[in-house]
Amino acid sequence: LKDKKTLLINARLSPEPKACRNCGSTVWDGEGKQIIVKNGTKASTIRFAPYNHVPTVMKLKKQKYVCKNCQSYSTADASFVKENCFIAEPVKLEIIDLLSKTISYTLISNLCSVSINTVIRTLRSLEVYLPKTKGDALLPEVLMVDEFRSHAPHEDKMSFICADGESGQLVDVLPNKRHDKLEKYFKNYSQKSLDNVKFLVTDMNA
């Protein structure tokens, strides 16, 4: 495949049809006539993790269906890959695991047999899990703060964490506990957000 030795898997996914996602019609009507019928296949190429150090690709034909009631079309879903995606979910999980290591994007792309752009896109997809911390995002009324040893590559090896004292939800984790760094960080919040804090919960450390 593209002048590279590759393990090719030819597969077909053709499960029994289900109720129409668009109009809710059942597969069979009350008179025994089939409403959801098969209507060709959709071909896709899905990249899996290498097998014995050989890149592995699946040529998958997914069954298409049509609803006779609303004329809408649907395609069979594969549990190992998201819709309109061509990288298998286990590969993405492997990329995420490798991103936590101190190695380069290039090495990760080689280990997973994907492009560097795929590695970067996977990293950026994690941004939605980051806490919203700046601008108009309100800080909680009860703000818990503390320091902890994170073994981060900083001189004091101590990091800073803050959370909602009522819900326990994480607000943010900072790589440094120094006062000047914290002051600069909290200045990124709006005055409205800062004024929302009514209680500050911490220990007696200076």
- Per-block average pLDDT, block size 10, for the chain (206 residues)? 91 93 90 92 93 93 94 92 91 94 91 92 85 71 89 66 92 87 89 93 80
Which helix (H) or strand (E) is 111 found in, with range? helix 105-112
Q: What is the pLDDT of residue 148?
A: 85
Residue 58: which of 68, 67, 49 has the closest Cα? Answer: 49
* The token pair that represents 180 in the structure block: 């000047």
Spatial CA neighbour of 4 closest among 81, 58, 57: 57
User: Which residues are bridge partners to 66 per DSSP?
Assistant: 37, 73
Task: At 162, give phi and psi (nearest 5°).
Answer: -140, 150
120 vs 122: CA distance, rounded Å: 5
CA distance 205 to 196: 24
188: its two tokens: 């990124």
Burial 79-98 (b: 16+ CB within 10 A, else e): eebeeeeebbeebbebbeeb
Nearest to 113 by CA among 92, 83, 85: 92
Our CA angle for 46, 49, 55, nearest 5°, is 80
Instruction: List all residues 6 or more positions away from 72 whose beta carbon is below 8 Å from its beta carbon.
Output: 20, 21, 22, 23, 66
Q: Distance (Å, rounded) from C-alpha 6 to C-alpha 50?
A: 9
